[in-house]
Structure 1
């Protein structure tokens, strides 16, 4: 059995995605912040589903809920739904060209926004501004560069 090439990339990328979600942005840009956790999680669910699945998504969401200070369990549920759908269609998505993968990820990010809006309606929490709906477009545009960067790190040979 061989050891993974760069085992550090998975935990470091998830931690970096969490930290990117905590970086303060100007009020104008805050609603369009890409959902970094979902993007990085999507990469790992597609590439190494034996290591990253629903359990990791849920635990990552709980950590994000605690770190971001939002509704407890909201991101956990959102990321678990996101990972479930990705895992369900993983076999097809892996063979899509990167442009079609980006469209699929964009659709999943829109679905994530719908889930978030429904949670806020059901719980009577304040609704997000309408600019909140632009973030999936930015996430879709970031999918290819993120995919290439993580692939390069994950598959890089040790010297």
Structure 2
């Protein structure tokens, strides 16, 4: 029943994104790690907004807070804030060219990272470093591949 509804494959895509967020990388590559969970959430919010909404985003944000060891709710707030324009304009985003989608995804990832930084700075005294913005660039590059991979995955497992 759950496989037919596509729930398990959907949950597995979230799990894969969470694992990719904490997968150990060499220090040089660590600063370039794409924002995998944000990319996966943006895709599902555009593709199936009737199934993936604010509750999903909030739960995944809280799980991310736990995984990243940040203040409880920081990632949740940032993800909910970027989910709003995606859900509001999902039809527009679907019909944009890939280049336009890449630019929008870059702006969304930048907005999410800015919110997380500001909250971390206010709560924990985090200091800004330009390397904090590198994942915006790699996320923009990764969007094309994430989009293609998840689109094929969605069709293969009939996630609707």
- The normalised TM-score by structure 2 is 0.89
Residues 66-105 of structure 1: pairs in structure 2 closer than 5 A: 66-105=66-105
Asked if 1 retains the 8 angstrom alpha-carbon contact of 2:61 and 2:77, the reply is yes
Residue 8 of structure 1: SS of its match in structure 2?
helix
1:128 deviation in Å?
4.4
Deviation per CA, 1:98-143, whole angstroms, max 9, x where unpaired? 1211111011111112112211232243224211111111101111
Matched with 1:119 is 119
Question: Which whole-Å CA distance do the structure 2 matches of 1:40 and 1:74 have between them?
Answer: 19
State whether structure 2 residue 44 is matched by structure 1 residue 44.
yes
Matched with 2:29 is 29
Matched with 1:54 is 54
Asked if 1 retains the 8 angstrom alpha-carbon contact of 2:74 and 2:120, the reply is no
Question: Which whole-Å CA distance do the structure 2 matches of 1:57 and 1:75 have between them?
Answer: 10
| Structure 1 runs (4+) greater than 4 angstroms displaced | 3-7
Q: 1:157 to 1:12 in 2, by over 3 A?
A: closer
Q: Which runs of 5+ in 1 are unaligned?
A: none
Question: Which whole-Å CA distance do the structure 2 matches of 1:116 and 1:62 have between them?
Answer: 13
Question: Which whole-Å CA distance do the structure 1 matches of 2:157 and 2:52 have between them?
Answer: 22
Q: Which has the higher helix share?
A: 2
Q: 1:4 to 1:46 in 2, by over 3 A?
A: farther
Question: Which whole-Å CA distance do the structure 2 matches of 1:124 and 1:8 have between them?
Answer: 36
Asked if 1 retains the 8 angstrom alpha-carbon contact of 2:117 and 2:126, the reply is no
Deviation per CA, 1:19-73, whole angstroms, max 9, x where unpaired? 1011012223222211111000000000001111111001001011112212211
Matched with 1:140 is 140
Asked if 1 retains the 8 angstrom alpha-carbon contact of 2:14 and 2:40, the reply is yes
Q: 1:4 to 1:99 in 2, by over 3 A?
A: farther
Q: Which of 15-24 and 81-90 deviates more? A: 81-90
